[in-house]
Every structure is written in structure tokens, then in C-alpha cells.
């Protein structure tokens, strides 16, 4: 994997890329995460795609300007990012917040998205859950204990990789990181439910959801499946909120079969 950076509206944006194919695949992380969240599947996808994985503005090692981090703003950021690195038609995998951003981008760029994969996407659920509350507390008070507890609750597993915990704590202690996190959370709360945008998506779409997701429960999958015209659905057993982290091999097999 190669780490690069570009400037967008004067802000430094960090991203990772791997693969030399002329087929492009964009991976969009969720709230409070970074490009590293996809490390378990990037090498596999890079066999057949040029994989592009940014730290969204406000997250990871990208700059965190003092602005309102609405879902519309983050979707426009993705548009500017792809234009800056001169990428044409692309397939997109978006997780949680990244899934909602991917829906917004697809709604605004219907001819540019070849295929769309949404992993436990936000955009329909409007209330909090105990797992989300634990994650918010870990972001506001980032310690190894709070982060470890939050990731255990979100995945349903006790053994959390130390790299994941340490990386999250380190990122949340960066200047403006908490501001960007909370601003994005408020943006999600205030955003309109994306039901009408789903109807405009004409790209073949796959919904992947962890059977035991405590952050955004799998019951919300029905709204996405019924709202998108050309849509498939896979429920991954034994998984919580991030199947691509918890069972990367199985996740890759499912998504690769759909993309090819």
C-alpha cells in the first residue's frame, strides 16, 4: 500500500492506494475511523482493482477544518477528491457513515458509479443505541479502556487488536478530532432520511450487514433493499458492525463475487 496526500480547498488529505488496474474501487470508512480500517481487505481487492482509500476530511490524518461536517459536505468532499486524483467511473464500498456518503454521492453522480456496496449504512436509523453511545463516549474520552470497551460492544468479541485500539485513541487526541466527530454526529442527526435518494440509484447494489450489528441493527436493511431498484442483500452471520474487519476473507469473497 502506498500512502499519498493531496490538497483540497487548502486542506491536506491523506489517502492510501494499492493496485494497478484500470478498474477503480473506492473504500469509504465510517464515523471516527480512517483508511486503516480496511487493511484486512485492501490487498485482496488490489488484485483486480486500483483501490483508493481516503481518510475523510475531519478524520484520520487528514486535516480537520472548523466547519459543519454535514453528510452533504462529506459527499461533496468525495466528489472533489475523485476529481482531484482524476478518477473516472468507479465502484464504491461504503461502511456505516461511509455508506450514507456513498448513497449521497451516487444520487448526485448517477452515471459515474459502476457498482455500489453498502455495509451497515447509516441514513435510516434516527435514534441511538447502547453500542453507539459507548463509541461516542470513547471518542470524547479516548483511553485504551474506553476504546476497548466500545469496540468489544460493536463487534461482540472480547479480543480486539491493540493496533485498532491504539490507533483510535491516537486519532481522537489529534487537534480538532473531537470537534469533527461531534459535528458529523450532529450532521447525521439533522440529515433527512435518505429514502428518496435510494430511489434514484441505478447502479447494481449490494447490501452487506452483520447479523449481530448492535450499532445499526440489521432490521434497517429492509429499507435499503426495498428502496434501491437493483439490489442484493447478504446477512453475514457471526458479525457485528464491521464484517470486513471481523471476517475479512468471507467479506471479500461475497463482495468480489458481486463486483466481478
Residues 18-58: tens digit of each pLDDT: 999 999 999 999 999 999 999 999 999 999 999 999 999 99
pLDDT in tens, 81-96: 999 998 889 999 999 9
Dihedrals phi, psi of 109, to nearest 5 degrees: -135, 60
Which pLDDT belongs to residue 158? 87
Mean pLDDT calculated for residue range 119-125: 96
Average pLDDT (47-73) is 97
Single pTM value for the model: 0.96
pLDDT in tens, 168-202: 999 999 999 999 999 999 999 998 889 999 999 99
Query: What pLDDT was estimated at residue 157?
Result: 85
Per-residue pLDDT for 101 more than 90? yes
Q: How confident is the model at residue 156 (pLDDT cuts 50, 70, 90)?
A: confident
Nearest one of 1, 23, 3, 26 to 13, comparing CA atoms: 3
Pairing of strands 50-54, 205-210: unpaired
Q: Cα(127)–Cα(189) distance, rounded to whole angstroms?
A: 8
Domains in the chain with CATH codes: 2-124+192-259 (3.40.50.1820)
Strands (DSSP E) contained in the chain are 2-8, 11-18, 24-28, 50-54, 90-95, 113-119, 205-210, 231-236
Q: What pLDDT was estimated at residue 57?
A: 98
d(CA 233, CA 224): 9
Mean pLDDT to the nearest integer, 200-227: 96
Amino acid at each position: 500500500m502506498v500512502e499519498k496526500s493531496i490538497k483540497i480547498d487548502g486542506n491536506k488529505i491523506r489517502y492510501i492506494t494499492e493496485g494497478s488496474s484500470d478498474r477503480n474501487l473506492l473504500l469509504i470508512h465510517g464515523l471516527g475511523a480512517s483508511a486503516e480500517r480496511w487493511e484486512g481487505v485492501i490487498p485482496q481487492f488490489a488484485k483486480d482493482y486500483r483501490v483508493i482509500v481516503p481518510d475523510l476530511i475531519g478524520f484520520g490524518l487528514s486535516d480537520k477544518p472548523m466547519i459543519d461536517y454535514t453528510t452533504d459536505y462529506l459527499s461533496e468532499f468525495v466528489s472533489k477528491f475523485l476529481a482531484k486524483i482524476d478518477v473516472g467511473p468507479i465502484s464504491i464500498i461504503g461502511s456505516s457513515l461511509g455508506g450514507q456518503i456513498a448513497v449521497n454521492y451516487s444520487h448526485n453522480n448517477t452515471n459515474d458509479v459502476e457498482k455500489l456496496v453498502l455495509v451497515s449504512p447509516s441514513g435510516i436509523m434516527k435514534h441511538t443505541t447502547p453500542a453507539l453511545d459507548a463509541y461516542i463516549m470513547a471518542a470524547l474520552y479516548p483511553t485504551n479502556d474506553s476504546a476497548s470497551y466500545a469496540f468489544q460492544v460493536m463487534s461482540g468479541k472480547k479480543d480486539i487488536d491493540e493496533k485498532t485500539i491504539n490507533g483510535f485513541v491516537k486519532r481522537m487526541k489529534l487537534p480538532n478530532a473531537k470537534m469533527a466527530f461531534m459535528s458529523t454526529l450532529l450532521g447525521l442527526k439533522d440529515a433527512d432520511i435518505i429514502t428518496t435518494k435510494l430511489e434514484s440509484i441505478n447502479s447494481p447494489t449490494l447490501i452487506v450487514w452483520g447479523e449481530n450489528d448492535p450499532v445499526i441493527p440489521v432490521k434497517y436493511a429492509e429499507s435499503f433493499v426495498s428502496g434501491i431498484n437493483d439490489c442484493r442483500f447478504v446477512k453475514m452471520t457471526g458479525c457485528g458492525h464491521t464484517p470486513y474487519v471481523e471476517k475479512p476473507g468471507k467479506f471479500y469473497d461475497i463482495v468480489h463475487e458481486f463486483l466481478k
